[in-house]
Structure 1
Amino acid sequence: MDEIDKRILTSLLGDGRSTLRQISKNLGISPQSLQYRLNKFQANNIIKKFALYVDKRIYNIKSGFAAFSGLNTIETGIFAKILCLEEISLYGFQGKTLDELRASIDAASEKIGPKAMEYIPEQNINITVSGNELAIIESLKSNPRILI
């Protein structure tokens, strides 16, 4: 991976919706060269997919996190999983209510062991969006790089 590849990835991490023309202009390379490099990233699984992460509060879903020690892991009932060094795993949980959220964390604890840490941020911030805004969000979820 050369310096241009690193700059391409940095640009995409900064704004994954930037057009190829914008990125190639900012980096001083041709759009064709940029497309070639992006195709190579995808073929080599450096870029696996483009995804849109929507704040779950739009759907009135509560979220929280818990870390567990040990080598046991879970795959279901989570929206995020980060396997860390020193046998610590961090998971993201969600529920329709705070009680449901806590029950999910407790169920995971029963499966993989006691929690090393739990974080449930303040959940009382509601975000309201119109039907049109939800339609745009759903379109972007299916194709995050689509032009609006």
Structure 2
Amino acid sequence: MHMDEMDSSILVNIIKNPRQTLTELGSKLELSEQVIYYRLKNMKFKSIIEKYFLRINYEKLGMKSVYLAFENDAPYPEPVNAKIMCLEKITVYGLSGKEEELNDRIENLCSYLGKPFMRYEAPVSGKKFELSALDKEILDELSKDPLASAVNIADRLERKSSTVKRRIDYMLENGIISIIPKINLRMVNIVLIAIFSSTIEEFSSIIDSRLLIAYSPGSGFAITITDSLESAKKLIDNIRKKDKNAEVMVVYDYDFYP
């Protein structure tokens, strides 16, 4: 399906920040709120934007996260935190948790799907954030509706909307959570690229429109978005110039779970 440049620009910016207001988005794109509202409504009607995910960055909470790539597209029946499906029957799974629990989950996954050909363990954040009881209640509400307004959440929790907004903003700004749209990639021009690299920090500046990224000096895993097949090819070529051993994969579907 061909998309015009305006729809593609809206989608790319929605992926960056789905909770931004129409006013904020319109200011960036120099479009009226009415135009953006109509186009977003049309994309939802056509199921181009299918839904939204709440993603919790467990490394910020003192837990571990691991990304494993398998040359196997068989469905895995147990819970995971991320599932990224790539061309050539490659699937990347993300798992998070405390060390003992995480090791058990990794063992179960590998016994079911075989040995992964790539593995990346995200570093635990130097600063551990503690979630309050209110934060956990807010996350429960956001898991049901990731775009729920602070006012609506506050009404359900019988809290002040200013307090709820402050906590949501705090968790977003500190990378504790992110909201990710589920885009039907078969219907759009944009292309998602998944990357495993031993030198990912060297090209972090060229993967700026990130859907998901976790990296550390030396090695890392990232997913980035490009606005066309042509720009995806240029990005892949640039990455391979810097790291000839990088695994770069085209994503065709993805799911995230809190």
Alignment TM-score, normalising by the size of structure 2: 0.49
Distance 1:52 1:83 in 2: 19
Distance 2:73 2:146 in 1: 35
Distance 2:15 2:73 in 1: 30
Report which of the two has the higher share of strand.
Answer: 2
Which of 85, 89, 97 pairs up with 1:83? Answer: 85
Unaligned runs of 5+ in 2: 151-164, 166-258
Residue 123 of structure 1 aligns to a residue whose secondary structure is: coil
Aligned to 2:74: 72
**1:27 aligned onto 2:11:** no
Residue 107 of structure 1 aligns to a residue whose secondary structure is: helix
Pair 1:136–1:106, CA change in 2 (3 A)? closer
Distance 1:130 1:72 in 2: 36
Paired AA for residue 121 in structure 2: I
Aligned to 2:149: 146
Unaligned runs of 5+ in 1: none
Aligned to 1:12: 14
Residue 49 of structure 2 aligns to a residue whose secondary structure is: coil
Distance 2:133 2:101 in 1: 29
| CA RMSD, 1 decimal | 2.6
Pair 1:77–1:132, CA change in 2 (3 A)? closer
Indicate if the aligned counterparts of 2:66 and 2:120 stay in contact, CA closer than 8 A: yes
Distance 1:60 1:15 in 2: 25
1:125, distance to aligned residue in structure 2 (A):
3.7
1:56, distance to aligned residue in structure 2 (A):
1.6
Indicate if the aligned counterparts of 1:16 and 1:145 stay in contact, CA closer than 8 A: no
Alignment length, in residue pairs? 147
Distance 1:49 1:57 in 2: 25
Q: Could you give the per-residue CA deviations for residues 98-123 of structure 1, whole angstroms, max 9, x where no partner exists?
A: 12212111111111222222222333
Indicate if the aligned counterparts of 2:60 and 2:125 stay in contact, CA closer than 8 A: no
Between 112-121 and 3-12, the greater mean CA deviation after superposition? 112-121
Alignment TM-score, normalising by the size of structure 1: 0.80
1:124, distance to aligned residue in structure 2 (A):
6.4
Residue 56 of structure 2 aligns to a residue whose secondary structure is: coil
Distance 2:75 2:35 in 1: 41
Between 52-61 and 4-13, the greater mean CA deviation after superposition? 52-61
Aligned to 2:4: 2
Distance 1:29 1:121 in 2: 38
1:42, distance to aligned residue in structure 2 (A):
0.8
Paired AA for residue 143 in structure 1: P
